[in-house]
């Protein structure tokens, strides 16, 4: 099986670029952030404080997280309910960032991620895919962009959805999540030693996809790519 790991900070455009690249490769696209978001959603729904690690760890016993891959992309289920839409709020983003710093949560989600890569050719995106989950991935890419550019893109996206927010607020949110994600003790957000760093500050989505495909082609010349 082939595995491509794409890690990087929030809002770097990982998911859009990874989704498009996976189609060109015929690999399944696994968005691992959705798993942490789903655990975060459960804690919010059940008013479990994410500062209390033991309570969060105990609650994991009551959670079943599943993924399904459909033509329109990945769907995530929390105890049988499709929560793919519900997990896309700023509140759940913060909750995901908080629960992802808890070792029991990372362990809980580890096997699911690994088993997907054992059974399929995957393009998996997250924060620790190249460093922890799939250290033997044949291709590792660290996709990043400046915090300002990421905030600008996020504002635009929310505006298009009819939910405008202040740029300063989004930038602050991104900086806070970056800090939280890269300073946690377990699986912090750092590029793997053998990752190719791809800065997308000055390229659009199409450009980012092309650059990903070129990196993949260089490392895996045998894979057929629909450029
Ligand atoms: O990619 P995302 O924004 O949906 O991720 C939500 C949160 O989950 C993010 O703050 C960091 C965490 N996360 C993680 O710790 N490890 C991963 N492999 C994916 C996400």
pLDDT band for position 38 (50/70/90)?
Answer: very high
Mean pLDDT in the chain?
A: 95
pLDDT band for position 31 (50/70/90)?
Answer: very high
H/E element, 67? strand 65-70
Q: Whose CA is nearest to atom 6 of ligand 1?
A: 33
Q: Which of 56, 97, 145, 185 to mutate to test the pocket of ligand 1 (most atoms within 8 A of CB)?
A: 97
Angle at CA 222, nearest 5°, toward 218 and 224?
A: 95
Q: Whose CA is nearest to atom 5 of ligand 1?
A: 33
pLDDT tens digits for 205-227?
A: 999 999 999 999 999 999 989 87
Who contacts 46 (Cβ-Cβ below 8 Å, separation ≥6)? 59
What separation in Å is there between the alpha carbon of 127 and the centre of ligand 1? 6
What separation in Å is there between the alpha carbon of 221 and the centre of ligand 1? 30
What separation in Å is there between the alpha carbon of 8 and the centre of ligand 1? 9
What separation in Å is there between the alpha carbon of 222 and the centre of ligand 1? 31
> Residue 96: CB within 6 Å of ligand 1?
yes
pLDDT at 34: 98
> Residue 154: CB within 6 Å of ligand 1?
no
User: In the predicted model, what is the mean pLDDT of residues 55-75?
Assistant: 96
pLDDT tens digits for 94-123?
A: 899 999 999 999 999 999 999 999 999 999
Sign, CA torsion 166/172/178/184: negative
Q: Whose CA is nearest to atom 4 of ligand 1?
A: 33
DSSP 3-state helix, strand, coil percentages of the chain (rounded to 5)? 50, 15, 35
Q: How many CA atoms lie within 13 A of 165 on its CB side?
A: 19
Strands 3-7 and 28-31: unpaired
Cα(69)–Cα(29) distance, integer angstroms: 8
H/E element, 103? helix 103-119
pLDDT at 157: 86
Cα(27)–Cα(22) distance, integer angstroms: 5
pLDDT > 90? residue 161:
no
pLDDT at 10: 84
Angle at CA 110, nearest 5°, toward 188 and 135?
A: 60
Q: Which of 10, 17, 33 to mutate to test the pocket of ligand 1 (most atoms within 8 A of CB)?
A: 33
> Residue 33: CB within 6 Å of ligand 1?
yes
């Amino acid at each position: 099986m082939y595995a491509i790991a794409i890690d990087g900070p929030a809002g770097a455009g990982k998911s859009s670029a990874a989704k498009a690249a996976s189609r060109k490769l015929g690999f399944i696209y696994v968005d691992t952030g959705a798993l942490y978001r789903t655990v975060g959603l459960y804690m919010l729904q059940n008013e479990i404080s994410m500062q209390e690690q033991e309570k969060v760890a105990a609650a994991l016993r009551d959670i079943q997280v599943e993924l399904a891959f459909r033509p329109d992309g990945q769907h995530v289920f929390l105890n049988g309910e499709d929560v793919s839409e519900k997990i896309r709020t700023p509140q759940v983003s913060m909750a995901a960032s908080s629960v992802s710093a808890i070792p029991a949560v990372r362990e809980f989600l580890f096997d699911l991620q690994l088993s997907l890569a054992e059974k399929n050719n995957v393009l998996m995106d997250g924060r620790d895919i190249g460093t922890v989950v799939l250290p033997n991935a044949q291709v590792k890419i660290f996709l990043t962009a400046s915090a300002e550019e990421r905030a600008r893109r996020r504002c635009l996206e929310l505006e298009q959805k009819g939910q405008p927010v202040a740029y300063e607020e989004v930038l602050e949110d991104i900086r806070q999540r970056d800090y939280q994600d890269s300073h946690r003790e377990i699986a912090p957000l750092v590029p793997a030693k053998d990752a190719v760093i791809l800065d997308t500050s000055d390229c659009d989505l199409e450009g980012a996809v092309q650059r990903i495909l070129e990196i993949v082609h260089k490392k895996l010349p045998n894979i057929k790519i629909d450029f």
